[in-house]
């Protein structure tokens, strides 16, 4: 049987989601815990891979088990075994061909920028001393919806077959001393959100004009966009699926 795991994690202690040599990953940590419980090697497949230092309020993963399980009991056992930085929100059965990555229809990210030095926020936001023009940043963010090819915001060395993404919305809003960028799309390229935020910050600081966003996207050249912002302010907040995957 196939099961989906809904989980959240603080990425500060991990080198990203995906298993990699000589590095602590979220995927490997969960697989090891499942291996102990079921007394055999377990492999899980995530909805996507977050880079080192990136957090997730929701990430979905699937894995196969050769028998029906008590999902509430398994959730309890996993949460007892896993480090404080990882929490299992729920586990539920899905159709045998349901896929955590390929069946996802939308993903949402948030990026947090702090305008005030805060010792309780420094691991979860990008502290920027200079004031940003949120009106201009929102104007530029709105331009993103007019395009689908975002090679200019993609990591240079990547194995994707297409740079096309359909952005549903992208906007900034103020939450006390934080500026929060929210973006939702059917898929994202590696480093895409951090590169978009970096570019929008350049516009918010007056280093770029709003209309330059058109030229940057059309150029398909990563060097024309702004620098990628720090990973620690980025959160994967939601992964959406069609109800047809459920049993």
**CATH code for the domain of 154:** 3.30.70.660
Provide φ and ψ at 200, rounded to 5°: -65, -35
**pTM (2 d.p.):** 0.96
Q: What is the pLDDT confidence band of residue 160, given thresholds at 50, 70 and 90?
A: confident
Q: Are residues 44 and 116 in the same domain?
A: no
pLDDT in tens, 74-87: 999 999 999 999 99
Position 161 scores a pLDDT of 85
Asked if pLDDT for residue 192 goes beyond 80, the answer is yes
Residue finishing a domain among 102, 130, 163? 102
Looking at the structure, tell me whether residues 84 and 205 fall in a common domain: no
pLDDT band at 136 (very low <50, low <70, confident <90, very high): very high
Domain containing 32: what range?
2-102
24, 15 contact by CB (below 8 A): yes
Known catalytic residues?
51
- Kindly provide the b/e burial profile for residues 59-82, where b requires at least 16 CB atoms within 10 angstroms of the residue's own CB: bbbbbeeeeeeebeebbebbeebb
Q: How far apart are CA 122 and CA 117, in angstroms?
A: 8
Please indicate, yes or no, if residue 243 is contained in any of the structural domains.
Answer: no
With respect to residue 247, please indicate whether it lies within any of the assigned structural domains: no
Q: Is residue 86 part of a domain?
A: yes
The mean pLDDT value for 38-47 works out to 96
Label residue 159 by pLDDT band (50, 70, 90): confident
């Amino acid at each position: 049987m196939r099961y989906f795991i809904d989980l959240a994690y603080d990425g500060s202690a991990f080198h990203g989601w995906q298993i990699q040599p000589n590095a602590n990953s979220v995927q490997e940590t969960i697989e090891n815990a499942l291996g102990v419980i079921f007394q055999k090697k377990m492999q899980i497949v995530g909805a996507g891979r977050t880079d080192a230092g990136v957090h997730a309020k929701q990430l979905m993963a699937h894995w196969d088990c050769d028998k029906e399980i008590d999902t509430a009991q398994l959730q309890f056992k996993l949460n007892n075994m896993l480090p404080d930085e990882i929490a299992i929100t729920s586990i539920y059965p899905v159709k045998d061909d349901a896929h955590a990555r390929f069946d996802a229809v939308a993903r949402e990210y948030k990026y947090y920028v702090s305008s005030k030095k805060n010792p309780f926020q420094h691991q979860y936001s990008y502290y920027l001393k200079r004031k940003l023009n949120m009106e201009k940043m929102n104007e530029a963010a709105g331009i993103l919806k007019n395009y689908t090819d975002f090679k200019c915001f993609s990591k240079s060395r990547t194995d994707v077959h297409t740079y096309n993404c359909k952005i549903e919305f992208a906007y900034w809003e103020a939450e006390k001393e934080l500026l929060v960028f929210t973006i939702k799309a059917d898929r994202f390229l590696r480093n895409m959100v951090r590169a978009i935020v970096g570019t929008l910050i350049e516009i918010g600081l007056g280093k770029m004009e709003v209309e330059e966003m058109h030229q940057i996207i059309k150029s398909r050249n990563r060097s024309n966009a702004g620098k990628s912002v720090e990973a620690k302010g980025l959160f994967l907040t939601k992964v959406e699926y069609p109800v047809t995957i459920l049993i």
